[in-house]
């Protein structure tokens, strides 16, 4: 069975209102532009762009001030209707990224051999040394727009920051996958670098 019309809107912060799921967006203006099914979000932290050309639906900005984005899906089945909410979530993450930014924290776990992490190229390249006592140097390059730094407050902690949540989380995944234990029982050998906390660069206001 197909549904005639399914739609959902996303509130865009304009500096005076609080955006959907953005409790810290008061006083911060965000500009959203559409070029066909390409969404461009501009905020104080930068610009994010994402294409939705692979999904057959309508995107439109409402009102004279364009402070609402509406996603319409005509004559969609159950799977196609789910894309409406998905696109709204992507846009909300883009708005959150250009206003608050995303921060992932990772911790080094080791039983005997200390894992040494060195930053190269101003945090764009991560070098992992002495993993399980190996001499091999693991090098992980961060995704574009993502920076990595060693925490000054916590021992054996890495901090990844960026505006795009997918690039930040993917960079964290690359680091974790680089420290995968091979040919051993992973229930016993737990060494590695794992995500310990997910949050935003700009902390939420109470």
**Can you read off the two tokens belonging to residue 68?**
């609402």
What is the pLDDT, as a whole number, of residue 19?
39
Higher pLDDT, 206 or 152: 152
| pLDDT tens track for 58-103 | 999 998 788 899 999 999 999 999 999 999 999 999 999 999 999 9
pLDDT above 60: residue 133:
yes
Contact present, 142 and 124 (Cβ < 8 Å): yes
Both structure tokens of 131: 């993993």
pLDDT tier at 205 (50, 70, 90 boundaries)? Answer: low
pLDDT digits (tens, 9 = 90+) for 16-63: 433 334 444 456 789 999 999 999 999 999 999 999 999 999 999 998
So what's the pLDDT on residue 22? 47
Domains and CATH numbers, the chain: 3-99 (3.90.930.12), 102-200 (3.90.930.12)
Predicted model pTM: 0.88
């Amino acid at each position: 069975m197909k549904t005639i019309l399914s739609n959902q809107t996303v509130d865009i912060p304009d500096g005076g209102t609080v955006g959907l799921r953005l409790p810290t967006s008061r006083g911060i203006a965000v500009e959203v532009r559409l070029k066909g099914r390409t969404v461009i979000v501009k905020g104080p932290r930068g610009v994010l762009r994402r294409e939705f050309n692979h999904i057959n639906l309508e995107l439109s900005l409402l009102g004279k001030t364009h402070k609402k984005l509406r996603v319409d899906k005509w004559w969609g089945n159950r799977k196609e209707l789910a894309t409406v909410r998905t696109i709204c979530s992507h846009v909300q993450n883009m708005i959150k990224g250009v206003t608050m930014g995303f921060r992932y924290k990772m911790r080094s776990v080791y039983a005997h051999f200390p894992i040494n992490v060195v930053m190269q190229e101003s945090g764009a390249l991560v070098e992992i040394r002495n993993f399980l006592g190996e001499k091999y140097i693991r090098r992980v390059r961060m995704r574009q727009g993502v920076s990595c730094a060693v925490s000054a407050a916590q021992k054996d902690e890495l901090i990844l920051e960026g505006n795009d949540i997918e690039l930040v989380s993917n960079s964290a995944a690359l680091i974790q996958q680089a420290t995968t234990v091979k040919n051993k029982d992973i229930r016993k050998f737990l060494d590695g670098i794992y995500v310990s906390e997910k949050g935003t660069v700009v902390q939420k206001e109470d």
